[in-house]
Amino acid sequence: MKVSGLEISLDQGSLAEANSVALAAMLLGQHTSPTQAAERAGRMRRVLEALNRLVPIDREMLALRHFEQLSRVEAAQVLRISQQTGARWYFRAL
């Protein structure tokens, strides 16, 4: 359950990069072998570049859906937008 007074925006200027790093790590998962670690580092760089090109609201939608694991309906409610708009933002961001 979300408490609106405790919610913060991901669009906080210099913190956007840190949030992108956390989101990219979450999306890529964990690997252990040296080869997998090298491949993961390359994927991490590409995902970070893609995340940093997103407009803040798209990055926030991805964070809500993947990091916070909210449903499409819940993410739209948090952002105070319609479900249709939320779906468009989510698919645009992906």
DSSP string, the chain: ---GGG---S--TTHHHHHHHHHHHHHH----SHHHHHHHHHHHHHHHHHHHHS-HHHHHHHIIIIIS---HHHHHHHHT--HHHHHHHHHHH-
The answer on pLDDT for 74 being more than 90 is yes
The answer on pLDDT for 75 being more than 60 is yes
The full set of domain ranges for the chain reads 14-53, 55-94
- Which of 14-18, 35-39, 79-83 is least confident? 14-18
Question: Residue 28 is encoded by which pair of tokens?
Answer: 């890529």
Q: Are 82 and 74 in contact (CB under 8 A)?
A: no
Rounded Cα gap, residues 38 and 32, in angstroms: 10
- pLDDT, one tens digit per residue, over 10-23 is 454 544 555 777 77
Segment 61-85 shows an average pLDDT of 91
